[in-house]
Structures are given as structure tokens and as C-alpha cells.
A and B are shown apart, each in its own frame.
Chain A
Amino acid sequence: MGRYVLRRVALSVVTLFLLVSAVFLITSVLPADPGRQVAGPFAPQATVDAINERLGTDDPVLTQYGRLLKSTITFDFGESFQLRQPVNDLLWPAVGRSAKLVVFGLVLTVPLAIAAGMYAARKRNTFADRSIVTLGVASSSIPEFVSGVTLQFLIGVKLGWFETLALAPRGSNLITELRYLTLPALALVVVYFGYIARMTRAGTINALDADYTRTAVMKGLPNRRVMRGHVMRNALQPTVSVIGIQIGYLFSGLIGLELIFNYPGLGRLIYNAVGAKDFPMLSAAVILVGIIYMLCTLGADLVIAWMNPRARMEGARS
């Protein structure tokens, strides 16, 4: 297990390095003149030069690259170009708010999706199964902002069950905050339910058909013990890895949702930074989403390795 963990962590570090390089390529090498990009086509050259100096984009490319790598390691990306405050001061509160939404969304989605997936697997090829699969395909292919506005109107405006804007007044307790977050969290359920349910269904079918399950049934184990000890332990592995992967996507899906529900999280921060061409903020946010994604997939892989000795053996060997 130790070797597997080590190998898996090393892989994440390499991936992170490549991600930072990609971000560098896009933000610093791709634009011919970042200062001009920020200031616009009609700004005097002096302004453009001043911006380039502030952004450090007049330095040699390698110096800039080194600086971005150093920023990633220390996680200090300097000052936001647009708001003239340290990036970290703006980033972390926003991340906290987004995390609240993501966790709430996952808490609603995961149990529902796993239950639906297992149910579908056990009722294979019935009407219920087909409906779950088809509904899953349909709902997960819709962009977040589309399901967001639809829920906002139907449940928020028409039925009036939940607040249509997501930010609770200052000083509210957690319950109130969650009530305000319900509609965007439901939009996340709509998008992510289908994928997790389908993965669970596939994994469960695999496990139900496996030889070890047949053996367990034949040697007379009670049904409940077969399901819990033999089927579920194996069936949920793909689900775990999918949930890890989905969290990265959840964060990018937040951009649209946070706009619609007017929620000042990471997504809206990114949206504003794009509009203002605030490159320090953008680099920090994208790299942070990358890190979150990597930690989640890493976590998922480690959970799978713990669930399945075969996976960690293979991982250590190759």
C-alpha cells in the first residue's frame, strides 16, 4: 500500500506541474501583449507599459515561468489586478462559500444516485431501470445554468418554496444558509445524479454477475450478507472514482449557477476575473480548481485501493 500511495502522489505532483505550465502558456505566452489586452486597443503606450510592469509581463519568459511555479508552491499569487487586494484574501472566502454549496449538493446527490443505481441494477431491464437510465442521460447532459434557471422559476418563483437568490443575510445560522442554497444545490443534483447513478448501476451489475457473488449465494449466505459483504464492496468502486472526478466539474459548473443565484463564490470570482482580464486572479483560481480536482481523484483512488487489494497491487507494479 505504501508504494502505491507514493507512486500515486508522485503522479499528482507531475500532473500539477504540467497544469501550471499549461496555464502559463495560455495566460503569458499566448497573448502577444498582455498589457495591451488589459488596457484595450486605444490606451496610450505608457499605460500599457505600466500594466506590463505591474503584471511582470515585461520580464523574460523563463523568469515569469519560474515566478508562477513559485507562486503555486507557496500559493501566493500576489495582488488581484482588478481589485488591488491580495488574491488570497479574495480567493479563500469565495472558495469557502463554493465548498459549502458543493458539499451540500453532493450530500443530496450521492445517496440518491447510489440508491437509484443499485435499484436499477437489481430491476435490470424493467421499466423502472430504463427510466432511471434515460432520465440520467437526459438530465446530466443539460448545462447547469439551464437547469438552474428552470428550477429557480418553477420552485423559487412559481411555488415559492425556496429563496431564489442563494446568499443568506449576514449572520444567519447554518440551517438558514442551507435553505438559501437549496435551489442551486438541486440544480447540481439534476446534473450529477445521472452519471453517478449509471456508474453505480454498472458496477452493481458487474458485481451481481461475478463468480464470487454466485459462490457466496451457493454456499448459503443470507441475502443481506451477500449484498453488503460481496456485492456492495465491489460495486461501489467505479462510483467512488466517479465522485472524485465529478468534484472538479462541480466547481466549473458553479460559474453559471453562482451567476444565476447571485452567490459570491469561486465561480463568480472567476467570471469577474475573466471580464476584467485579471490574470493573477484567473491563474490562481484555475490552478486551485486543478489542485482540488487532483486531491479528489487522489482521494478516490486511495479509497479504491483500500477497498480493492487488486487495484493497489496493479498500481504498484506498473
Chain B
Amino acid sequence: MSMGVPPPIASGAAAVVEAEAARAVSDDVLGEAGPGSHVPIDMRAERRQARKERRRLLLRRPGFVIGFLILAFWIVCAIGGDKITPNPPLVSVDAGGLSPRAGFLMGTDVLGRDVLSRVMAGARDVLIVAPIAATLSVAAGTMLGLLMGYYRGWVDEVLSRLVEVLLSIPVVLMALLIVATLGSSRLVVIMTVAVLFTPIVTRTVRAATLAESQLDYVTSARLRGEGGLFVMLREILPNIRPTILVEYTVRIGYAVFTVATLSFLGAGIKPPSPDWGLAVADNYQLIQSGQWWGTLFPALAIASVVIATNLVADSIEAVISS
């Protein structure tokens, strides 16, 4: 899961090899992975201390700081919307097709709208849709993964097979198919991405739960007579929280990727929204004639958000597993 890539799907023997390789990457880059943090309740202070230490380590990683600053910039743009853009993003403010110049730092598009203002305001759609979709998929995937990994049995067998199948279809393709049948709206895009990401999260959480279930503290909780729900939520969940956190940040990156691709393909957010994917779709044919600013600036905006998210995700993973 440390890979900045489409969900690694493993089948049969590939799964083992791949998991090993993934572990090798993190072990190697980050030093030995420590044992799980099974902390008794009276050691809360120590745990808080550890969290503070982790925060300090995060801030010392340039990747995290850069990624965080980029994301913070776009979040400010998303919240500010047209209140902080130099020009209104949805209406024509000057002649169309002006190249970047003082006054219009990123030029104007065919309709004479200020590209800079549109790129700033365009942060909003993607930064609302993608994180909501990622959050839903992580919530659903965590629940499913805990249940499957803890109870095992034939339900787990069947669902695991199903998860593998769902993973065998490229997400964008499946999303296109769904959006084509249901029609595109913000809600459909959110739900589609959430549903398609759930199996990926499920697989990660299930694997982590399976590993934790073998440990003594789970057995002892069970011997104490704790119910399944308690063991899952109060014993196992806190110990796999780092794994889930990393998966969450990685999923947000992919959600941005997927949402941007869908709106580029006309299956997501609709005009006249200044959404980035949409802006690239509207303007890319002009590149041939040298009018690049309407396309490249929103494209770079997309790239900056996914790269920043990945930098943050990578740093969090590195710090957690060190």
C-alpha cells in the first residue's frame, strides 16, 4: 500500500510476493518496523508522548512539509472560492485567448474568463468530492475488513473472492460504466468512487486484522469473555489504526486522480463549473495552435494535488512504521 499506484491486485502466488516486496520497501526505507503498540491504559501519557514525537518527526520530513503546504494552499482556495479570486471565475472579463500577462497571470480562456481565477476556484469541487468518497470507502472497508478478518469462515472466503474480482477491473472503467447507466451528478460520482474503493480498503484492513488476531492480546481478550464487537473495535482497531491512516491518505490521492479523470471524460462534474478536469477537457484541443495556458495550468493543479497527497501519505507511512 506504500505504492503510489493503482491498487496492486494480487492473484494467487503474486499476492504473497507482492506483499513481501511492499514490506521490504517500507522496512528498508524506514528501518525496522517496530512491534505493534499494545499499550495498557495506564500508559496514556506515554502514548501521548509518542504521538508528539511522531508529529515532530513528520515536520522534519521535507516531503511532508512541501505536500502539506501545497494542500493547504488549495484548501484555502477551495474555502475562499470566488471571494478570493482576482476576477469572477464564471464570467467573461476580457477578450478571449489572451496569453499570460500582467493582470491575467495565467491568461484568459476562449470565453475570456480569467484562467487564474478559474484554477483557484476549481479546487472546490475536487476537494469536496474526493475526500468524501475516500472517507466513505475507508469507513465501509474498515468495517468489512474487521468482520472478515476476525470471523473468517465461508463468508470471508466468498467475499474475498468477490473483492479480488472487483479489483480486477480498472476503477476508471467501472466508474465510467456506472456513471453511464446512472447519469452523472456529484452524488453519483461520490458513491461510485466510494463503492469502487471499498474492496481495496477491505483487503488491506482484512490482512491487518488477520495478523492482529493471531496475537496474544486478542486471545486473552477473548478468554476474558469479551464479545466480538468489543474485541474488534476496542482491541484490534486501535492497533491497526496506523495502517488505516496510511490507506486513507493514499485513497484520498487516488480519489482525486479518479474524480479528475472522470470529469475530464465528461462523466463527472458538469460545466460551467471551473473544475480542473473539465477545464482540461474543454481546452486541450487548443494546444495544437499554441494556446496552452487554458489546459496546462489546470492540469498542473491536478498534478500538484495528487503529488502533494502522495508526499504526505508517504511521510506518514514512513514515520508510523519507524
User: Taking beta carbons and an 8 Å cutoff, which residues of A are in contact with B?
Assistant: 8, 11, 14-15, 18-19, 22-23, 26-27, 30-31, 34, 37, 124, 133-134, 136-138, 140-147, 149-150, 152-153, 157, 164-165, 194-195, 198-199, 201-203, 205-206, 237-238, 241-242, 244-246, 248-249, 251-253, 255-256, 259-260, 270-271, 273-275, 277, 282, 286, 289-290, 293-294, 297-298, 300-301, 304-305, 308, 311-312, 314-315
Contacts and interface: CB of A to CB of B under 8 A. Distances in A.
B25 to A, nearest CB: 4
Interface stretch (B110-118, B141-149, B239-247, B286-294): B286-294
A31 B169 contact: no
Interface residues of B, number: 68
B166 A22 contact: yes
Given A124-B28, A202-B22, 8 more contacts: A141-B310, A145-B261, A146-B300, A149-B280, A195-B4, A252-B170, A270-B176, A298-B11
B90 interface: no
Interface in B162-198: 162, 164-166, 168-174, 176-183
Contacts of B174: 26, 286
B68 interface: no
A273 B307 CA distance: 31
B303 A146 contact: yes
B165 A15 contact: yes
Interface string B259-283: 0110011110000000000001000
Contacts of B264: 143, 145, 256
A220 B53 CA distance: 46
B65 interface: no
A273 B176 CA distance: 10
B100 to A, nearest CB: 14
B6 to A, nearest CB: 5
B3 interface: yes
A157 B13 contact: no
B310 A137 contact: yes
A136 B5 CA distance: 10
A164 B295 CA distance: 15
B192 to A, nearest CB: 10
B63 interface: yes
Contacts of A202: 21-22, 24-25, 28
A2 to B, nearest CB: 15
B253 interface: yes
B199 to A, nearest CB: 11
Contact of A255 (B17, B172, B179): B172
B302 interface: yes
Nearest to A137: B4
Interface of B: 3-6, 8-14, 16-18, 20-22, 24-25, 28-29, 63, 161-162, 164-166, 168-174, 176-183, 253, 257, 260-261, 264-267, 280, 284, 287-288, 290, 292, 295-296, 299-300, 302-303, 306-307, 309-311, 314
A43 B180 CA distance: 18
A256 B287 contact: no
A23 B177 CA distance: 8
6 residue pairs, one from A and one from B, having the closest CB atoms: A252-B170, A241-B14, A238-B21, A311-B13, A137-B4, A195-B5
B29 A133 contact: yes
Contacts of A144: 261
A143 B3 contact: no
Contacts of A256: 261, 264-265
Contact of B169 (A133, A152, A289): A289
B291 to A, nearest CB: 10
A286 B257 contact: no
A194 B6 CA distance: 11
A157 B287 contact: yes
A140 B5 contact: yes
Given A138-B310, A301-B14, A14 B25 contact: no
B260 A143 contact: yes
Contacts of A252: 170-173
Contact of B292 (A142, A153, A198, A244): A153
A149 B284 contact: yes
A237 B17 contact: yes
A15 to B, nearest CB: 5
Nearest to A245: B9
B241 to A, nearest CB: 23
Contacts of B17: 203, 237-238, 241, 304, 311
Given A145-B261, A157-B287, A286-B173, A15 B164 contact: yes
B4 A19 contact: no
B283 to A, nearest CB: 9
Given A124-B28, A149-B287, A164-B287, A137 B169 contact: no
B168 A15 contact: yes
A84 B283 CA distance: 31
Contact of B25 (A164, A198, A293, A314): A198
A164 B288 contact: yes
19 contacts: A8-B12, A22-B166, A26-B177, A26-B181, A141-B306, A143-B260, A152-B287, A202-B28, A238-B20, A274-B179, A286-B169, A286-B177, A290-B168, A293-B168, A297-B14, A297-B168, A301-B13, A311-B13, A311-B16
B169 A206 contact: no
A147 to B, nearest CB: 8
Given A143-B306, A195-B4, A206 B21 contact: yes
A141 B307 contact: yes
